[in-house]
Structure 1
Amino acid sequence: MRLGNLGAATWPLLALTLAGCVSTRPEPPPAPVTRAKTQATREASPAGDAPRALVPPGLRLDSRVKPVRQAVTLELDPRQETFRGTADIELALFADEPLRELWLHGDELTVEAATLEVNGRKVAVSALPVGEHIALVPEEPVGKGSASLHLEYTGRALANEDTGVFRAEEDGRWYAMTQFEALYARRAFPCFDEPGFKIPWQLTLRVRAEDGAYSNAPVEHEDVGADGWKTVRFKPTPPLPSYLVAFAVGPFDVVDAGRAGRNGVPVRMLVAHGHAAEATWAARVTPPLLEKLEAWFDSPYPFAKLDVLAVPGGPGGAMEHPGLITFGAQSMLGPVEGDSVWRQRMFAETQAHELAHQWFGNLVTMEWWDDLWLNESFADWLAFKVINQWQPGWRWDVRRVESRGQAMEADQLVSARSIRQPIQSSGDINGAFDGITYGKGAAVLAMFESWLGPDAFQLGVRRYLQAHARGSATTKDFFRALSIVVDRDVAPAFSTFLDQPGVPLVSVELQCPKDGPPRLALSQRRYLPLGSPGGQDGTPWQVPICARYTAGGAEGRACTVLSEPTGTLVLDGAKACPEQVHPNADGRGYYHALLAGDGLERLARQGGKGLSVPERRVLMDDAQALVASGDLDVAQALTLATKLLRPEDPDLVEAAVGVVGSVRDEFVPDALLPHRARFVRGLFGPMARRLGFVSRPGESEDLRMLRPSLVWLVANVGQDAVLRAEARKLALRWLEDRSVLSPDAASAVLGTAASGGDAALHQRLLQALRATRNERERELLIGALGAFRDPALSRASLELMLAPDVDAREALPILFNQLSEPPTRVGAFGFLREHFEPLRQRLPRDVSMWLLASGGFFCDAEHRQQAADFLGPRAEQLEGGERALAQALERVDLCIAQRKALRPGLERFLAHY
């Protein structure tokens, strides 16, 4: 799964950011059927006995009862909230002693009838709901053997949710879809909702004749009845865990994308009615990406077909269901002409991620959620690799380094989780879908791949997948496969990064003794930013380190593993003292590097000569982090950014923009804001004004991608009057004619115009929002409406989150836009405090957790306390809420400390401008 982004492109660009047959035996006679109660926590016992309390099994189900296969039939009309279903589950019972109850998952379902057959004998049974579980209580205890269970039930498909079975309306047409990862299949049917229970599934959907029905497997049989309904039965799936089962119902258009891969599987795009043309890019890039992955794995796509579905009105992100990958529509669909380059490339990366899951996660599934990294980290890591192979001109290795930097920013918190975090609650499961599992996990894999060698690493992965195909596996299984191939135990080194949080800070000092070759003196400790409550206790990492150096005009490379607090790396190949040393060759190490002595000055003097773009980017990311930890003066970091910057390279300009933009407004005294503006204009102004807001014919895609962040920075942080005036004119023209700006440019133009905009512009944008149903336009307009600084106008924008004609999910970026800017932050948090409960009720349950992040934007003690007091009691009511709030408040503490420490250096630096 690739996480959604809540329309993040509209936020300020620099803000904090289913082999086997299912039983077809006739239904048993009704005699043993017992009607289920609506709520039960105590079992009715024989007359004269006291009732016995039913105690649910906790986070994991009783392993003595296992499913063998399951068939589900659903009658589903997307226009209606209620659906009906039956579930037939074949079971294997392993208990040494007779079982008095059998447990399975079922949440928000009403079980109307239940039938149990054990070892061929019918047993009367009660089905009693207990929280997110269903207790099956037989009239007498049951022992070992085989069993079959038949359940009849009803459930709900909600229109304001995006998990379980949910519905969406578009242009008067209704659609129903599913999202079951991680704990939501239990909302669609009673089941064993854990990843280790991997079984064949067979789905049958009864739908209206005019609706299409789609699921993981190809259609086995379709029958249209005289009642206006049709029955669609799908073929049995290979073994799947419940969270990978998926289906969709509605008037979807089908776009044929041909056949792909070694087995020539059919590929189709499924889109809401009328949107077929917008799936052109998705249909074009999916087959070659599938084939690239087959080649890397040396294994064909492991399922019978591939549909890719754009979820109408859905959130961002995607989900890797075998045979039915789903995407948020805005991520997957784009206009045939004038599409966003950023959207196209991010779709390709996300599609590569979801396709990689067909092997990592689907063919081989994690045994339990603590090994989620075996899914997500691998999919992210391989997506970067495959995109880089498929489109080398995109230089996606730079995107890998960017993702590494983002993961490190999250990993700097003492409250951060480890990649392989013990799972103790459902909140821990939901919390595992974060930047640590995805970004850090991918970066750690890239580091160990480089250390062990790409070919050996690839052979180890293939061995792991072959050994566990169609089954489940653990981290230990992966380590075993990799260790056999490389003939060394990789577990100890790997585990230091998987099982403890934090980023290593490796100090590197060049030493050139007269009596031996040059060497690097190394030491490691945990990276901690200023204001961190953490200490240096913990196990040292086993850090694979590779350095690249230039000595006497010749380039060299040396590697080691730093396993202790200190160590040495001898540069045997250097014939002289190196002119420069890069401490992280190719940018593949997951550590921040502190160049001690004159190492930084040597790099600056050379201007990064001979360094690759990823290596330059890593230096900029490290400089930014070292400023935050107090290990580098802010003036040194800003100077280094200017030295490593190459104006002709958009990727390096983007990186430098990130360094300069990372200096928060709160760090700069008001009197020096004009000085900072002059510094920004001097460094980036000529490039920004040359680039402008409007794309030119023949312009490279890289420049089109750079424009939004660069021009936005100069126009807003740089206070460039010419660009601001141009933004106002272009915004008014765009409101009349959408073709005057590309989607990428429109984001920067509208945001810039709105930041200094008046009531007239606000009214024009609001009218445009209410006049269009185009999701891309609405995303841009909402982003602009969140950028107004005037208190009355910013308040009017916030009220859109409560407007009946606006989806609160699409309007949520307004809140975070305003929280990210000091002039509107207090007002936005005040609005949240005033309307927290109505907002929470309007948002999907899992999205409401994000509201806890609102307290993390402040940079002063008074508002930190205010956030803690208000959000604390609410965090206690949400699974995983306490960790989310702790992370938000820790960010405030870091900001407070860094503001105090960095201001003097900033004042000295900016005084020269």
Structure 2
Amino acid sequence: MENAEPARRFVPRLEAFLVRLGHIVLPLLALCAWACAASRPASTSSSPETPVRPPTAAVPVEEAAPVLTPPGLRLPPSVRPVRQTVTLELDPRRESFSGTTDIEIALPQATSEVWLHGEALSVRDAAFIVAGSRVRTSTLPIGDLLVFLPREPVGPGTVTLRVAFTGRALAREGSGIYREEDAGRWYTMTQFQPLAARRAFPCFDEPSFKIPWRLTLRVREEDGAYANAPVEAETHGPDGWKTVRFQTTPPLPSYLVAFAVGPFQSVDAGVAGHHRVPVRMLVPHGRTAEAAWAAQSTPRLLERLEAWFGTPYPYAKLDVLALPGTQGGAMEHPGLITFGAPLMLGPVEGDSLWRQRYFAQTQAHELAHQWFGNLVTPAWWDDLWLNESFADWLAYKAMTQWKPEWRGDVRRVEARGDALVEDRLVSARSIRQPIEAPGDIHAAFDGITYNKGAAVLAMFESWVGPDAFQEGVRRYLDAHARGTATTADFFDALSSATGKDVASAFSSFLDQPGVPRVAMALECPKDAPPRLALEQRRYLPLGSPGAHDVPMRWQVPVCVRYAVKGREGRACTLLSEPTGTLELEGATACPDWVHPNVEGRGYYHAVLRGDALERLTRHGGKGLSVAERRVLLDDAQALVASGDLAVARALALASRLMRPEDPDLVMGAAALVASVRDDFVPRTSMANHARFVQSLFGAQARRLGLLPRPDEGDDLRMLRPRLVWMVTQAGEDAHLRAEARKLALRWLEDRRSLPMDSAHAVLGAAAAGGDAALHLRLLEALRTTTERRERDLLLTALGGFHDAALARASLALLLVPEVDAREALPILFRQLEALPTRAVAFDFLREHFEALRERLPRDIAPWLLSTGGFFCDAEHRKQFASFFEPHASAFEGGERILAQTLERVDLCIAQREALRPGLERFLRRY
């Protein structure tokens, strides 16, 4: 699953860039990444300590009512499903649905109660079928569980539980069975990961219960029906309904079952892979032309992944379905991968290169899941990293093989940087964390699992060697195909293939949070080879509640690159103790420079002591790869935040390492500059700060302009929205703002006048200095368009006005019945991100919190608890905590979200106080 995290995540997109600038999710590309947090159902399961006595009516009257003790977080492992058949009647126009299911269950002994998952379902009838006979059965709902109570004990052996039930498919939701309207047509879709299959049918809703599924859908004649497996038979009735029966699936956990119903249209993408698997794009009615890029890229990526795994794609078909509405992200269901339409579909002309690359990166991730997660499934959610970290890590490989010019190595380093920022929090979770409550499951879908997990995999792949690592992965998949596995199983396969005991070193990064800070001092004794004295401890930023003297130790693969009189060498070690030594045995003299992290493979922050950083960057880092330069820029951000590097030196480093002709280095430098938040800059120095930004980026932004040129490369087209944002926002460039206003007004008259990437840059720049007249024009355009991409552009721009009255008028759209609150959410986050409108947005949020909470799906509403992370002062921190602390427990995982939000504010306050004097001195020269 591609998860929002909240950015992160792992792909070269503008939202992730803004997160790296020190901000929270800000979807200037309006790719609807809001639903990347895609499954946060509220759990109401009972406490395992509380016995429940059902009412007398729940059991036959002649029996005594039993005292029931619900299971805890997990169902009893001794009662296991064997296979399940589900029949559903679905009409996307209706909220209610009905169904029946037969579940074959293996019982080790005679039992009088069987527990399954079932939430918000009404059971109409239930019975156990034993040797062809029906055993009358009562049902009691308890939270998100159903307990089935047969009149007489059933088992041992295999029995069938037959249940008839009804449920609700809610509109504007994003999990369970839900519905969306698009261009006047209704669609029904599913998103079950992690805990929402139980809202569709009674089931064993845990990943360890991996069974074959047989699905039948009864739908209206005019609707199409799609599921994981190919259609086996279709029959038509005289009543305007048809019955579509699908082939039995290979063993799947419940969260991977998927189906969709509605007037979808199909785009043939040919066949792919060793088995010549048919590939189709399924899109909302009338949008087939927009699937061209998805149809072109998907087969190519599948073939590259097949080659890497050395085994064919393991399913009978590959449908890729665009979910109508504002739903974002993607999900890896076998045979039926789903994407939010804004990410999967692009305009026939003027498509966004950002969107195309983001889709391809995400599709590589979802296709990698067909082996990691689908073919072999983690036995429990504590090993979610075996799904998501692997899919992220392998996606970079597939992308680099397919499109090397897209610089997958740099994208990998960017994602590593995102993880390092998230991992600096004391409240950060570990990659592999015990699961003790439903909130722990939801929390696992974050940047630590995705970005940090992928970075750690890249580090250990480099340590053991790519070929040996690949062989270990193949052994792991071969040994556990069609079943489940654990981290220990993976370690066994990897150790067998590499001849190294990887478990302890790997586990030091999996099972504890935080980032190693590795200090390096170059020593050049006369009678021995040059060496690096190494020292490790946990990285902690200024203001962190963590104590530096709390012992934390990693086994860190450290690899450095060095040069002696023009000749380069490389040296590696495994730093297992608090201190160590790395001899540079190939060096014939004291090195001219040492780079502390070869190709950015190591997951650590490096502190170069003495003059080592100056020597490394003296000539602009000549000889370093782009990835190695980006690592230095990331480390500089972190070391400023921890007080290990003066802010003036860091900002000078941005200038040294940047090369105007290289867009990735321009953006790396911009990220370092923007990590010094506006909150850190004294009011008297704001003009100086703007001039400093202009000195670095202004001339290039004006040369690049707001419109693409016919001979312009893709990299410059992708750089434009980032650079324009930097120069018009932080640099307050009046010339570009004025030009943006002219182009914005032209776009309002003719939507074809700007390609998508330029339109984002133009409207955002125009809004920053926009007046009431422009605001009114944008509002009028919003009222008259239903086209989703145009609405995304308009709503994002409406969130960018800095005038307080106009900001309030934009925020009001979040409450307008005709506006979907999900699509308008960027207004709130854009205004919280901007210093001039932050207080206005916060006041609006407090005043209308309950209304917003009700208008947002259960998956997205918890994000409101993260809004305080934009603040950087004690008074607003106090106000935020006072207002939201009473609400946190009402959200799944809310206490953790709130704790991390408040910690971010505390860190910002501490850094502001520490950095302001040095920053003010630095800015005086501008």
With normalisation by structure 2, the TM-score equals 0.95
Using the alignment, how far apart are the partners of 1:48 and 1:774 within structure 2?
A: 62
Q: What is the match of residue 289 of structure 1?
A: 301
Whether the 8 Å contact between 1:593 and 1:622 is mirrored in structure 2 is yes
1:749 partner letter: V
Aligned partner of 2:68 in structure 1 is 54
Which residue does 2:834 correspond to in 1?
A: 821
TM superposition shift of 1:42 = 4.3
Does the Cα contact within 8 Å between 2:557 and 2:573 map onto a contact in 1? Answer: yes
Match of 2:290 in 1: 278
In the superposition, relative to structure 1, how do residues 116 and 899 fare at CA in structure 2: closer, same or farther (>3 Å)? same
Matched, 1:840 2:840: no
Mapped pair 1:582 → 2:595: yes
Partner of 1:76: 90
Of 449, 464, 472, 2:484 maps to 472
- Aligned partners of 2:99 and 2:164 also within 8 Å: yes
Q: Whole-Å Cα distance in 2 between the matches of residues 790 and 331 of structure 1?
A: 31
> Does the alignment pair 1:608 with 2:615?
no
Give the whole-Å Cα distance in 2 for the aligned partners of 1:369 and 1:358.
17
Match for 2:878: what amino acid? Q
Corresponding residue for 1:707? 720
The answer for the alignment partner of 1:191 in structure 2 is 203
Shift in Å, 1:675? 0.8
Asked if residue 729 in structure 1 is aligned to residue 742 in structure 2, the reply is: yes
> How far apart in 1 are the matches of 2:337 and 2:684?
53
Residues 873-899 of structure 1: CA distance to partner in whole angstroms, max 9, x if unpaired?
111111210000000000000000000
Paired AA for residue 752 in structure 1: A
SS of 1:124 mapped into structure 2: strand
Report 1:323-722 matches (<5 A).
323-536=335-548, 537-722=550-735
Alignment check: 8 A CA contact 1:74 1:85 kept: yes
Q: Give the whole-Å Cα distance in 2 for the aligned partners of 1:586 and 1:472.
A: 34
Shift of 1:775: 1.2
Per the TM alignment, residue 739 of structure 1 is displaced from its structure 2 partner at its CA by 2.1
Aligned-partner Cα distance in 1 for 2:106–2:153: 15
> Does residue 336 of structure 2 align to residue 321 of structure 1?
no
Q: Aligned equivalents of 2:107 and 2:523: distance in 1?
A: 67
Q: Following TM superposition, by how much is the alpha carbon of 1:538 offset from its aligned partner in structure 2, in angstroms?
A: 3.7
Q: Is the 8 A contact 1:260 1:267 kept in 2?
A: yes
Is the Cα contact below 8 Å between 1:704 and 1:744 reproduced in 2?
yes
Structure 2 CA distance, aligned partners of 1:122 and 1:178? 32
Task: Choose which of 794, 810, 825 in structure 1 pairs with 2:807.
Answer: 794
Q: CA RMSD in A?
A: 1.5
Greater relative contact order, per chain length (Cα 8 Å cut-off, separation 6+) = 2
Over residues 831-867 of structure 1, what are the superposed CA-to-partner deviations in whole Å (9 max), with x where a residue is unaligned? 1111111111111101101010011111111111111
Equivalent-residue separation in structure 2 for 1:265 and 1:48 (angstroms): 57
Does 2:122 match 1:115? no
Which residue number in structure 1 is paired with residue 279 of structure 2?
Answer: 267
Amino acid paired to 2:99: G
How much has 1:637 moved relative to structure 2?
A: 0.6
Q: Distance in 2 between matches of 1:242 and 1:782?
A: 37
The code of the aligned residue for 1:644 comes to L
Shift of residue 124, structure 1, vs aligned partner: 1.7
* Aligned pairs, number: 890
Structure 2 CA distance, aligned partners of 1:459 and 1:390? 21
Say which is worse superposed, 234-243 or 758-767, in terms of deviation.
758-767
Structure 1 residue 741 corresponds to structure 2 residue 754: yes
Letter in 1 for 2:744: A
> What do the CA deviations read for 1:401-443 (whole angstroms, capped 9, x no partner)?
0000001111000000000011001111011000000000000
2-structure distance, mates of 1:50, 1:775: 58
Deviations 1:536-555 (A, max 9, x none): 32431000010001111101
**Aligned-residue identity in percent:** 69
Deviations 1:656-710, CA, capped at 9 Å, x for gaps: 1111111111100111111111111111111111001111102110011111111
Moved more, 691-700 or 121-130: 121-130
- 1:747-762 map, 5 Å: 747-762=760-775
**One-letter amino acid of the structure 2 residue matched with residue 154 of structure 1:** T
Q: 1:221 to 1:809 in 2, by over 3 A?
A: same
The Cα of 1:5 is off from its aligned counterpart by 7.2
Q: Per-residue CA shift, 1:480-539, capped at 9, x if unaligned?
A: 000001112100000000000000010011111111111011000100010000123243
Which residue does 2:99 correspond to in 1?
85
Structure 2 alignment gaps of length 5 or more: 8-12, 25-51
Q: Which residue of 1 aligns with 2:45?
A: none
Q: Distance between the aligned counterparts of 2:479 and 2:5, measured in 1?
A: 36
Q: What's the secondary structure of 2:225's corresponding residue? A: strand
The 3-state SS of whatever aligns with 2:170 is: coil
Distance of 1:464 and 1:121 partners within structure 2: 43
Q: Is residue 10–residue 782 contact of structure 1 (8 Å, CA) maintained in 2?
A: no
5 Å-filtered alignment, 1:862-901, equals 862-901=875-914
Deviation readout 1:196-234 (Å, 9 max, x if unpaired): 000000000000011000000000000111111000000
The one of 265, 270, 275 aligned to 1:258 = 270
Q: Distance in 2 between matches of 1:48 and 1:195?
A: 38
Deviating more after overlay: 359-368 vs 533-542: 533-542
3-state secondary structure, aligned to 2:537:
strand
> What SS class does the counterpart of residue 126 from structure 1 fall into?
strand
Is the CA contact (8 Å cut-off) linking 1:791 and 1:824 kept in structure 2? Answer: yes
- What are the Cα deviations for residues 341-366 of structure 1, in whole angstroms up to 9, with x where unaligned? 00000100000000000000000000
Number of the residue aligned with 2:23: 16
Comparing 357-366 with 837-846, greater Cα deviation is found at 837-846
- Give 1:55 shift: 2.7
Following the alignment from structure 2 to structure 1, what is the Cα–Cα distance between the partners of residues 609 and 755? 45
| Residues 45 and 318 (structure 1), Cα distance of their counterparts in 2 relative to 1, 3 Å cut | closer
CA distance in 2, matches of 1:60, 1:593: 42
**Unpaired runs of at least 5, structure 1:** 18-38
Tell me how far apart the structure 1 counterparts of residues 889 and 807 of structure 2 sit (CA, whole Å). 30
Range with greater deviation from structure 2 (337-346 or 820-829): 820-829
Partner of 2:44: none
Report the counterpart of residue 25 of structure 1 in structure 2. Answer: none
Distance change in 2, residues 1:42/1:561 (3 Å): farther
**Whole-Å separation in 2 of the counterparts to 1:160 and 1:174:** 12
Distance 1:173 1:685 in 2: 47
Alignment check: 8 A CA contact 1:15 1:820 kept: no
Residue 667 of structure 2 aligns to a residue whose secondary structure is: helix
For the structure 1 residues 220 and 538, does the alpha-carbon distance in structure 2 shift closer, same or farther, using more than 3 Å as the test? farther
1:314 & 1:758 partners in 2: Cα distance? 29
Separation in structure 1 between the aligned mates of residue 711 and residue 101 of structure 2, nearest angstrom? 58
Matched, 1:176 2:192: no
SS in 2 for 1:2: coil
Structure 1 residues 602 and 872, CA gap change in structure 2 (3 angstroms): same
Structure 2: how far apart are the matches of 1:538 and 1:121?
A: 63
> How far apart, in 2, do the equivalents of 1:4 and 1:635 lie?
33
User: For residue 219 of structure 1, what is the aligned residue in structure 2?
Assistant: 231
Structure 2 Cα separation of the partners of residues 5 and 474 of structure 1: 24
Distance 1:176 1:815 in 2: 29
CA contact (8 A) 2:22 2:677 kept: no
TM-score, length basis structure 1: 0.96
Q: Distance in 2 between matches of 1:394 and 1:12?
A: 16
CA contact (8 A) 1:3 1:316 kept: no
